[in-house]
Amino acid sequence: MARKRKPKKRRYGSVRRLPSGRWQARYPDANGDLRAAPETFETKTAAEVWLTQTEADQTRGDWVDPHAGAVNFLEYATKWIDERGLSATTDELYRRLLRLHLEPTFGELDVNEISAAKVRTWRAERLTATGATTVAKSYRLLKAIMETAVDDELIRRNPCRIKGAGKEEADERPIATVEQVFDLADAIGLRWRLMILLGAFASMRPEELAELRRKDIDLDEGAIWVKRAAPELATGRRVLGDPKSRAGKRAIVLPQFVLTDLRQHLDWFAEQGPEGLVFVGERGAPFRRSTFGRKYRKARKKVGLPDEFRFYDLRGTGNTLAADTGAKLKDLMVRAGHSSARAQLIYQHSQKRHQRKIASAIDADVRRQRQQAAEHEERTGELATVHRFVVPTGTSEDPGEAAAMAER
């Protein structure tokens, strides 16, 4: 009688049957200790196949410990933001997105429990509750966090795999005409008039204007140096730092028509001394977004601009005028403080003579448009005067009688 062969002993891991009847696979971790697989199996064969795949992954270096991702998502995401070294405004944005849009769904889950299906469901629900732009920002944040989890070997693959989900389809922003810009500057009052003009014709951001100081202005050159920015957070705290992007540090040559307002503002409203702030409130306090915002909205309504027209949209007028001069792309980028997706453009510098050419062309264009508007208004007024003295059809052509009718 043939002897019964003993089953071959496994050289990697082990498989055993549990009291429930299901099979458990155990694999060696990095320290050589046996650890149970994250799931049990219906058959012994299925458990052995899992062990074989795990061994192959460890051999290739593709293996991710299934227990490593047992880290609370909210704690991991908060630490992720802490370690990024973000600007104050970006840090505030990320924490708000995390608190309002990610934490309610994923806050109590572990990182390895967030699946592609759960991400799809979350995004669909968010789209019914808030704007598409906010959902896109939240999705990009979640994807970035989970990509770091992949790098940290907490999970094998990023569950955020929805094509185009992080893309923002923003509506085209409104652009004010030259006359609307001047009407807005007139309506907001002398103290804030220059801020409107610099926002439009120098393409300056409000946080850059908030930190503009006398030493940053060269009246002889007719130029402004943007070196710092002071954005205001939702809490009201002003945060001094660099401009929005690396390209934000720049020199802006001003159109000549702005210099008259600039000199007047420096004489009447700016703080004294090289470090003096150019824009301060009525009581001498630094520029506050909330205070200025109320004045801006009131002036905007008076002029008839739409409610969605933000101060940032003033830059569209200046950028359009600059583009109409035929300036090169890199010169336009320098003037507006824009960064390009192409890395080499960040390191290209615009010569001052090109900036002067842009400023001179903007100056000429604005003066031409204002002159045309004035002439049109004058012609309209003269035409109205002529109409008052025209002889009505069917009346006497006698000059004396016509004059008497006109007087009546």
372-403: pLDDT as tens digits: 988 888 887 766 655 554 444 444 444 444 44
Which CATH number goes with the domain that contains 81?
1.10.150
Asked if residue 153 lies in contact with residue 111, where contact means CB atoms within 8 angstroms, the answer is no
Q: How far apart are CA 348 and CA 7, in angstroms?
A: 72
pTM of the model: 0.63
Output the pLDDT for position 247. 65
- The answer as to whether 28 is a domain residue is yes
Structural domain count, the chain: 3
Q: Which residue, of 328, 345, 364, is where some domain finishes?
A: 364
Q: How far apart are CA 238 and CA 286, in angstroms?
A: 9
Output the pLDDT for position 100. 96
Output the pLDDT for position 7. 56
Q: How far apart are CA 220 and CA 323, in angstroms?
A: 26
Residues 136 and 200 in one domain: no
SS3 120: helix
**Residue ranges of the chain whose pLDDT lies below 50:** 1, 341-349, 389-408
Residues 113 and 34 in one domain: no
Residues 56 and 80 in one domain: no
Q: What is the distance of C-alpha 268 from the center of its chain?
A: 34
Output the pLDDT for position 338. 65
- The answer as to whether 347 is a domain residue is yes
Domain that holds residue 334: 178-364
- The answer as to whether 25 is a domain residue is yes
174-177, long-range: CB < 8 A, 24+ apart? 174/305, 174/306, 174/308, 174/309, 174/313, 174/316, 175/313, 175/316, 175/317, 175/320, 176/200, 176/305, 176/309, 176/313, 176/314, 176/316, 176/317, 177/317, 177/369
Q: Please identify which residue in the block is written with the tokens 């908030």.
A: 210
- The answer as to whether 400 is a domain residue is no
- The answer as to whether 388 is a domain residue is no
Asked if residue 308 lies in contact with residue 172, where contact means CB atoms within 8 angstroms, the answer is no
- The answer as to whether 318 is a domain residue is yes
Decide the pairing of beta strands 250-253 and 223-226: antiparallel
Residues 209 and 335 in one domain: yes
Residues 40 and 184 in one domain: no
pLDDT digits (tens, 9 = 90+) for 178-216: 999 999 999 999 999 999 999 999 989 888 999 999 999
Output the pLDDT for position 318. 84
